[in-house]
Amino acid sequence: MLSTTCKYAVRAIIFIGMKGSKENRANARIIASELGIPMQFLSKILQIFVRKGLLKSFKGPTGGFYLAKDSNDITLFDIVEIIDGPGFFETCLIGTGPCQSSTHKKERCPVHDSYSAIRSEVVKYFKSESIGGIIERMGNDENILLKL
C-alpha cells in the first residue's frame, strides 16, 4: 500500500525518534546502515523532512538528525502526506485516478462504494497513530525495525 520511499521514511523517523535527541543526534550513515536503506536515498528523504519541519539537522562531526516535534505529535498521516502526497488518501484503489464521491454512479470507479468506508477508516488510523505510540509499543526494541 505504501511506496518503498514512504516505508523507508517511516522506519527512519521511528529510528530517529528512538535514537536521536538534540544532544545526541542520529547520524544518517548509521541510520542507513542499521536499516538497510541506501545512503543517498535516505539523505534525500531526511532532507525533505527537515524542509517540512519534522526534523532538525546539524552538519559536522557530531552532526545528525533529531525530531523537531515531540514524537507523539508526529503521525503516520504526516509522514505519508509528505512523502506520497495528500492524493495518496484520495486515489482510486484500482488506479483510475482520484476517487471522488460523485452523485453519478457511472462517474465513480467500480469499487468506490465498497472502498470508501475502508478508506475513511485508513485515514482515521493514519491520523491517530503517532510515532511516539509506535515507539512505546516497540519497547525501544530497534531490532523490530530491522525486520521490516
Among the four given CATH numbers 1.10.10.10, 1.10.3660.10, 3.40.1000.10, 1.10.287.1080, the one describing domain 4-141 = 1.10.10.10
pLDDT in tens, 103-123: 556 666 777 777 778 888 999
Query: In the chain, which residue ranges form alpha helices assigned H by DSSP?
Result: 4-19, 28-35, 39-51, 76-84, 112-128, 131-138, 143-147
- DSSP-assigned letters across all residues of 103-132: SSGGGS-TTHHHHHHHHHHHHHHHHH-BHH
pLDDT over threshold 70, residue 54: yes
Task: List Cβ neighbours of 142 (8 Å cut-off, separation of 6 or more).
Answer: 15, 18, 19, 34
Residue 63 confidence (pLDDT) above 80: yes
Task: For residue range 122-137, list pLDDT tens digits in order.
Answer: 999 999 999 999 999 9
Tell me the pTM: 0.85
